[in-house]
Structure 1
Amino acid sequence: MGFVIETVFGGLMTGMLYSLIALGFVLIYKASGVFNFAQGAMVLFAALAMARFAEWIPQWTGISSPLLANLLGFVAAFVVMVIVAWLIERLALSRLVNQEGITLLMATLGITYFLEGAGQMLFGSDIYKIDVGMPKDPIFLFEKTFEGGVLVNKEDLYAALIAAAMVALLALFFQKTATGRALRAVADDHQAAQSIGIPLSTIWVIVWSVAGFVALVAGIIWGSKLGVQFSLSLVALKALPVVILGGLTSVPGAIIGGLLIGVGEKVSEVYLGPMLGGGIEIWFAYVLALLFLLVRPQGLFGEKIIDRV
C-alpha cells in the first residue's frame, strides 16, 4: 500500500508542475483567444535568462551571496519576460486583431522559433545549471502508518508546493483584484469589455506578462531538476494534453487536468510498463487527450459551444 501511495504522490507532484505550465496556455487563451503555442519556448527563454543572469550578476557587481545573485537574476529575468510580452503585443497581436484562429496560431509558432533562436543568440546553447537551494535528498513520510514509509524526493515536494502556491495566487488574482476582473471581462466578451473602457492592448500585455512570470517559475523549477537545455521547451509542451483534458478556458480544469495526467503517467509507467514496455510516460498524456477529444472535445471544464441555425 505504501508503494501505491508513493507512486500516486509522485504523480501528483509532477502533475502540479504540468498544471502550472498549462495555466500559461489558459490565461492567454481566455484573455485574447490565442492558443499560445510559444508557451514552451517562453519557459525555455525564461529559464535561460534566469540561469545566465544569476551567473553574470556576480561577475558584474562582485556579489558573493548565491541567494542574492539568484534573487537579482530572477528580477532581471522577469523584467526581460515583461519586455518580451510587450513586444509580442505591439509587434504581433495588435496587428492581428480579428484575424482567423489559424493566423494567430501560426503567429505563435513564429514566436516560438524566434524565442528559441533569440535565447541561443543572447544566452548561449550550453546546458546551464539553476541552483535555487532546493534540497535534493529523499525523505520518508508516514513511516508509522506504512511499513517502510513513503519515499519522497524533497526537491519534488518543494517544487510541487511552490507550484501549488503559484496556482492559488493566480486564482486569487483573477477572482479578487480589479485587474483580474478586467481580464475575466475581456475573456467573456472583447467588444463589451472595450465598450466600458477596458483597454484591450493593456490587458493583453498584462496577461502575457503574467504568462511570462508563470513560465519563469516553471522554467526555474524544471531547470533546477533537469538543467536548462533546449529540450526544456519539449517538456513544457507536455502541458498541451493537460489543457485539452481540463478545457482551454478553465483555470480549475488546468489544475485538475495536470493532476490527473501526472498520476496517470506514474501509475501506468509502474504498473503497465512491465507488460507494455518502457516509455509509457512519453505518450500516455497524448493518448488520454485524444480519447477526450473523441468523447468530450471541450474538456472536463471547458465551455460547450452550441451553434444555433
Structure 2
Amino acid sequence: MDFFLETLVGGLLAGVMYALVAIGFVLIYKASGVFNFAQGSMVLCAALTFVTLRDKGLDFWSAGLVTLVVMVALGVAIERVVLRPLVNQPQITLFMATLGLSFVIEGVAQILMGASVHELDLGVVDVPVEVGPIQISQFDLVAAGVAGALVIGLSIFFSATRIGVSLRAIADDPQAALSIGIRLQTLWRIVWGVAGFVALVAGLLWGARQGVQFSLTFVVLKALPVLLIGGFTSIAGAIVGGLIVGAADSLAEIYIGPLLGGSVSTWFAYVLAVVFLLIRPAGLFGERAIERV
C-alpha cells in the first residue's frame, strides 16, 4: 500500500508541473483563440537563456531577472510581429504560424547559445523525504509547490481582477468586448507577456529535472492530453487535467507496463485523453461551442 501511495503522490506532483505548462496554452487560447504550439520552444528558450547567463557569471537572481525580461519581450514580440497581422485568418493559419515559429525559436536559440546539454541547479537537493509512511522526492515537493503557487496565483489573477474579467468578455464575444471599450491588443500583449513568465518558471523547473537540452520542447506533448482532458479554456481544467494525467501515467507505468512488456508512459496519457474526448469532447471544464444558424 505504501508503494502505491508513493507512486500516486509522485504522479500528482508531476501532474502539477504538467499543469503549469498547459496553463501557458490556456492563457493564449482563451484570450485570442490561438493554439500556441511554440510554447514548448519558449520553455526551452527560457531555460537555455538562464543557464547561459549563469555560465557567464551572473548570480541566480540577476540571471532570472534578465531571463524574465527576455521572455516577456519575446512573448510581446510574437504577438505584435507574427500574430497581430494574422488576425481574422483561419485557425489553421494561426496554428501553422506558431508551429513554424517554434522551429525558428529553437534554431535561433541553438545559434546564439549552442546545442550542448546544460545542467541547471536550483539549489534543491533531490533526496527522499519521509512524509508519513511514504518517501517523496524533495525536488518534486519543492517544484510542485512553486508550480502550484503560480497556478493558484494565475487563477486568482484571471478570475478576480479587471484584466481577468476583460479576458472572459473577449473570450465570450470579442466584438461586444470591443464595443464597450476593452482594448483587445493591450490585453493580448499582457497575456503573451504572462505566457513568457509561465514559460520561464516551467523552463527552470523542467530544466532542473531533465537537464537543459532540446528534447525539453517535448514536454508540451505531455501537456496536450492535459488540455484535452481539462479543456482548452479553463485554468482549473488545466490543474485537474494535469493531476489526472500525472497520477494515471505513474500508476500505468508501474502496474500496466510490466503486463504489456514495456514502458507505457509515452502513450498512455493519449489513450486516456481519447477516452475523455469520447465522453466529453469539450473536456471536463471546457465550454461547448454553440453555433446559431
Q: TM-score range by the shorter chain?
A: over 0.9
Go from structure 1 to structure 2 and tell me whether the alpha carbon gap of 1:308 and 1:195 turns closer, same or farther (over 3 Å shift): closer
- SS in structure 1 of the partner of residue 181 of structure 2: coil
| Match status 1:284 vs 2:274 | no
Letter in 2 for 1:251: I
| TM-score of the aligned structures, taking structure 1 as reference length | 0.92
Q: State the partner residue of 1:150.
A: 134
- Identity of matched residues, %: 53
Q: State the partner residue of 2:3.
A: 3
- SS in structure 2 of the partner of residue 31 of structure 1: helix
- SS in structure 2 of the partner of residue 152 of structure 1: strand
| Match status 1:45 vs 2:35 | no
| Inter-partner Cα distance in structure 2 for 1:160 and 1:277 | 31
| Inter-partner Cα distance in structure 1 for 2:204 and 2:220 | 12
| Match status 1:302 vs 2:286 | yes
Instruction: Report deviation, 1:204.
Output: 1.0
| TM-score of the aligned structures, taking structure 2 as reference length | 0.97
Instruction: Report deviation, 1:184.
Output: 2.3
Instruction: Report deviation, 1:228.
Output: 0.3
Report the count of equivalent residues. 293
Instruction: Report deviation, 1:74.
Output: 0.9
Q: State the partner residue of 1:252.
A: 236
| Match status 1:224 vs 2:208 | yes
- SS in structure 2 of the partner of residue 151 of structure 1: strand
Letter in 2 for 1:12: L
| Inter-partner Cα distance in structure 1 for 2:287 and 2:263 | 33
| Inter-partner Cα distance in structure 2 for 1:17 and 1:57 | 29
| Inter-partner Cα distance in structure 2 for 1:306 and 1:229 | 42
| Match status 1:266 vs 2:250 | yes
Contact kept? 1:43, 1:236, Cα under 8 Å: no
Instruction: Report deviation, 1:139.
Output: 1.5
Q: State the partner residue of 2:86.
A: 96
Is 179-188 or 82-91 further displaced after alignment?
179-188
Go from structure 1 to structure 2 and tell me whether the alpha carbon gap of 1:131 and 1:11 turns closer, same or farther (over 3 Å shift): same
Letter in 2 for 1:54: R
| Inter-partner Cα distance in structure 1 for 2:23 and 2:102 | 18
Q: How does 1:204-215 map to 2 (within 5 A)?
A: 204-215=188-199
- SS in structure 2 of the partner of residue 136 of structure 1: coil
Is 127-136 or 95-104 further displaced after alignment?
127-136
| Inter-partner Cα distance in structure 2 for 1:252 and 1:124 | 37
RMSD: 1.2
| Match status 1:31 vs 2:31 | yes
Q: State the partner residue of 1:119.
A: 109
- SS in structure 1 of the partner of residue 27 of structure 2: helix
Which runs of 5 or more structure 2 residues have no equivalent in the other structure? none
Equivalent of residue 69 in structure 2, options 71, 79, 89? 79
| Inter-partner Cα distance in structure 1 for 2:140 and 2:78 | 33
| Inter-partner Cα distance in structure 1 for 2:182 and 2:214 | 38
Q: State the partner residue of 1:293.
A: 277
| Inter-partner Cα distance in structure 2 for 1:155 and 1:10 | 11
Contact kept? 1:57, 1:72, Cα under 8 Å: no
Is 168-177 or 104-113 further displaced after alignment?
168-177
Which runs of 5 or more structure 1 residues have no equivalent in the other structure? 59-68, 143-148
| Inter-partner Cα distance in structure 1 for 2:292 and 2:161 | 35
Instruction: Report deviation, 1:195.
Output: 1.7
| Inter-partner Cα distance in structure 2 for 1:88 and 1:275 | 46
| Inter-partner Cα distance in structure 1 for 2:69 and 2:166 | 23
Instruction: Report deviation, 1:203.
Output: 1.0
| Inter-partner Cα distance in structure 2 for 1:86 and 1:57 | 28
Go from structure 1 to structure 2 and tell me whether the alpha carbon gap of 1:308 and 1:179 turns closer, same or farther (over 3 Å shift): closer
Equivalent of residue 138 in structure 1, options 106, 116, 128? 128
| Inter-partner Cα distance in structure 2 for 1:183 and 1:134 | 36
Deviations 1:134-168 (A, max 9, x none): 121111221xxxxxx21111001110111100101
Equivalent of residue 174 in structure 2, options 190, 193, 199? 190
